[in-house]
A = this chain, B = another copy of it.
Amino acid sequence: MDWLDTSIMRTRGTAQGRTPDTHELTEAKQGKYHYTIGPYSDPVLHVRPGDRVVVETRDAFEGAIQTEQDLPSRVLSMPFVNPQNGPIMVEGARKGDVIAVHIESMAPRGPNPRGTCAMIPHFGALSGTSLTALLTDPLPEIVRKIDVDEQGVYWSRRVTLPYRPHIGTLSCSPEIDSINTLTPDAHGGNMDLPDMGPGSITYLPVRADGGRLFIGDAHACQGDGEVCGTAVEYASTTTFQVDLIKGWSLEWPRLENEAVIMAIGSARPLEDATRIAYRELILWMEAEYGYDRWDAYMMLSQCGQVRLGNFVDPKYTVGAAIRKTYLA
């Protein structure tokens, strides 16, 4: 049996086998991309639970870096980076619900070298930044253009990395805030979590009518922490299915794949992101998997899995997971 049939999305979603429509959200249809995630923008698409969306995401630099000579400090204009598709309205979604996003596939778009990685001045984990404000000089500004296809990420003559695509930024709208697309928080946002690729389902808390789903920031691959500040950023055609789970009130996003369930936290310092993730996982095990709170806490101390998403964005993102075999 396909694991999907036992997923939370399938067993608790309102689609329940309804024949899905497929919606195309091309660059042309999207028109203006968004740099904040909030309740103040106009919807580009209305879908029903169970529907499939095929979306053309732009890369995090909105295509402005075409060659290794296109330095970020010259071609980018803050805060107009990390463009998002959306908002997509999901029929019936209300505050206190959850929108499930099952990523089915991600294919690269555009001519090669279509992947971009950059060291941006005063950005990245091993540099002074706007928040860890120092008097040091910036690191060198370097752009790497990288060929990407579904067989690999051709980093250098020496190294070919596996193609491990995932979505860097995914969210429903906050209730009243409108948050720039560089920042992850309780709504989701720029989590940069490598687990959020094909085969994953992300559960996003709904805080505004219709949920107002935003998606963007595809990565062809990314290491834990995204240490230099950027992944292999690329334009993608991403296909995902949406569902709606009524009356599941979450504080923070969650994720599920074949092997694990994962709670996600975003905060500074990094231990606070990790605390959020573990606490949410424990409360989840208690509420839905028959665990005593303290048993869950002590057992995760023996088998919990931590993924560092990013420690370069305005808030850092951590996922805490447990294998599903321990939940049976």
Q: Determine whether the beta carbon of A127 is less than 8 Å from that of B136.
A: yes
Q: Which residues of B contact A117 (CB under 8 A)?
A: 298, 301-302
Evaluate whether A125 and B227 lie within 8 angstroms (CB atoms) in the complex, with A175-B79, A267-B268, A293-B135 already known. no
Segment of A33-41, A210-218, A254-262 engaged in the interface with chain B:
A33-41
Closest to A185 in B: B314
Q: Which residues of B contact A159 (CB under 8 A)?
A: 299, 326
Q: Which residues of B contact A132 (CB under 8 A)?
A: 132, 272, 275
Q: Which one, B125, B223, B301, contacts A228 given CB within 8 A?
A: B301
Q: Which residues of B contact A224 (CB under 8 A)?
A: 304-306, 320
Q: Which residues of B contact A40 (CB under 8 A)?
A: 40, 178
Number of this chain's copies in the assembly equals 4
Closest to A181 in B: B176
Interface-central residue, A40, A142, A178, A301, by most chain B CB under 10 Å = A301
A251–B158 alpha-carbon span in the complex (Å): 28
Q: Which one, B38, B228, B278, B293, contacts A225 given CB within 8 A?
A: B278
Segment of A7-15, A21-29, A52-60, A229-237 engaged in the interface with chain B:
A229-237
Q: Is residue A240 contacting chain B, with contact meaning CB distance below 8 A? A: no
Closest to A130 in B: B251
| A127: min CB distance to chain B, Å | 6
Q: Which one, B135, B251, B299, B303, contacts A279 given CB within 8 A?
A: B135
A131–B156 alpha-carbon span in the complex (Å): 32
Q: Determine whether the beta carbon of B300 is less than 8 Å from that of A227.
A: yes
Q: Is residue A150 contacting chain B, with contact meaning CB distance below 8 A? A: no
Q: Which one, B126, B127, B223, B278, contacts A125 given CB within 8 A?
A: B278
| A233: min CB distance to chain B, Å | 11
Q: Determine whether the beta carbon of B232 is less than 8 Å from that of A144.
A: no
A66–B212 alpha-carbon span in the complex (Å): 37
Q: Determine whether the beta carbon of A227 is less than 8 Å from that of B304.
A: yes
Query: Could you mark each residue 310-324 of chain A with 1 if its beta carbon is under 8 Å from any beta carbon of chain B, else 0?
Result: 010000100010000
Q: Determine whether the beta carbon of B133 is less than 8 Å from that of A265.
A: yes
| A3: min CB distance to chain B, Å | 20
Q: Determine whether the beta carbon of B227 is less than 8 Å from that of A139.
A: no
Q: Which one, B133, B301, B308, contacts A223 given CB within 8 A?
A: B301
Spell out A's residues near B (CB within 8 Å).
Answer: 35-36, 38, 40, 79, 117, 119, 124-128, 130-140, 142, 144, 153, 155-156, 158-159, 161, 175-180, 221-232, 251, 265, 267-272, 274-276, 278-280, 282, 293-295, 297-306, 308, 311, 316, 320, 326
Having A36-B176, A223-B306, A228-B301, one finds 8 other A-B pairs with CB under 8 Å, namely A35-B176, A128-B136, A130-B251, A132-B272, A133-B265, A224-B320, A228-B298, A268-B269
